[in-house]
A and B are shown apart, each in its own frame.
Chain A
Amino acid sequence: MQLGSMPLLKRWRLEQEAITFAVVLLLVILLAWGSPAFLDSNNLDSLQTSMAPNMIIAIGMMVLFIVGLFDLSVGAVMGLSGIITALVLSAGYGMGAAIACGLGVGIGIGLINGLLVAVFGINHLIATLGVMYMTRGVIEVLLLGAPLAGFTSFPLAFTMLGNGSIVGVYWMFLFALALVVVGEFVLRRTVLGRRLYFTGGNHDAARLIGIDTKRMQIGALVFSGFMAALAGVLVTARIGMANRYLGIGLEMNIIIACLVGGGSIAGGKGSAIGAMLGVAFISLITNAFNLFEVPSEWQSSVIGAVLVVVVAIDGILLLRKQRVSWQTILGWRSPRRNSATLPAE
Chain B
Amino acid sequence: MTEATSMAVATSALAERGRRHLGPLPLLVVTAALCLFLGLTRENFFSASNLYSLVYGVSIECLAVFAFTYVMVLREIDLSVGAVYALAGVMSGYLLLEGVPMWGAITIALAAAALVGLINGLLVVRLRVNSLMLTIGTMLLVRGLVGVMTTTLRGNTFPRPFRALSREQLFGVNVSIVAMVVLAIAAILFQQRSVLFRHMCYIGENLRSAVIYGVRADRIKVMAFVASSFMAGVAGIYTASRITHADANMGLGMEFTMITAAVLGGASLYGGRGNAAASMLGLFLIAVLINGMAMYDIEPVFQQFVIGALLITTVAADTILKRRG
Contact = CB atoms under 8 A, between A and B. Distances in A.
Interface of A: 116, 120-123, 125-127, 129-134, 136-138, 140-141, 144, 252, 255, 259, 265-266, 295, 297-308, 311-312, 314-316, 318-319, 329-331, 335-336, 342-345
Given A265-B133, A312-B127, A126 B207 contact: no
Contacts of A123: 269, 315, 319
Contact of A130 (B151, B211, B312): B312
Interface in B287-325: 299, 301-302, 304-305, 307-309, 311-312, 315-316, 319-320, 323
B147 interface: yes
A308 B134 contact: yes
8 contacts: A127-B315, A130-B315, A134-B309, A265-B130, A295-B151, A297-B144, A301-B148, A303-B144
B138 A304 contact: yes
A332 to B, nearest CB: 11
B259 A120 contact: no
B145 interface: yes
B305 A304 contact: no
Contacts of B141: 300-301, 304-305, 307-308
A107 B256 CA distance: 26
B126 interface: yes
Contact of B307 (A122, A133, A144): A133
A144 B315 CA distance: 30
Given A308-B123, A311-B133, A141 B312 contact: no
Given A126-B259, A343-B207, A312 B311 contact: no
Contact of B144 (A126, A302, A314, A329): A302
B interface bracket (residues with beta carbon within 8 Å of A): 35 or more
B136 interface: yes
A57 to B, nearest CB: 17
A307 B311 CA distance: 26
Most buried by A among B140, B212, B302, B307: B140
B128 A299 contact: no
Contacts of B142: 301, 304
Contacts of A300: 140-141, 143-144, 147
A304 B140 contact: yes
